[in-house]
């Protein structure tokens, strides 16, 4: 006897799919944090060097490198991008009628 697999289509935001209240904020932090992490890994820096570059204590670098982006505000993560010489462009527009949440776009 085999069990039938059940699949549920994702909304594109795992935090919303889990029913978390601050899902959009967590999703945005995750998207920004992944870009920060990608840029840091490209530079192949030691945690001590990252600490100095980003202006945060070494234990916070450990959280960042483990992907614990919920520990940092969106503003702090954007500051990290600035310190990594990344140009940040913010596009603001009204939501489309009928949608409950806005869209966050982060790209390299």
> What is the pLDDT, as a whole number, of residue 97?
62
> What is the pLDDT, as a whole number, of residue 29?
92
Identify the segments of the chain with pLDDT beneath 50.
none
> What is the pLDDT, as a whole number, of residue 89?
85
> What is the pLDDT, as a whole number, of residue 98?
60
> What is the pLDDT, as a whole number, of residue 2?
73
> What is the pLDDT, as a whole number, of residue 79?
95
CA distances to 7, 70, 74 from 33, rounded to whole Å, are: 28, 9, 9
Catalogue all structural domains in the chain, each as residue range(s) with its CATH number: 19-108 (1.10.260.40)
What pTM, to 2 d.p., does this model score?
A: 0.77
> What is the pLDDT, as a whole number, of residue 105?
63
């Amino acid at each position: 006897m085999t069990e039938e697999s059940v699949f549920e289509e994702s909304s594109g935001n795992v935090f919303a799919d889990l029913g978390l209240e601050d899902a959009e904020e967590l999703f945005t932090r995750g998207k920004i944090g992944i870009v920060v992490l990608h840029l840091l890994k490209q530079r192949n820096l030691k945690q001590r060097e990252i600490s100095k570059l980003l202006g945060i204590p070494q234990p916070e670098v450990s959280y960042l490198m483990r992907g614990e982006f919920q520990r940092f505000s969106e503003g702090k993560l954007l500051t990290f991008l600035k310190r990594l010489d990344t140009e940040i462009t913010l596009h603001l527009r009204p939501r489309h009628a009928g949608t409950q949440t806005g869209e966050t776009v982060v790209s390299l």
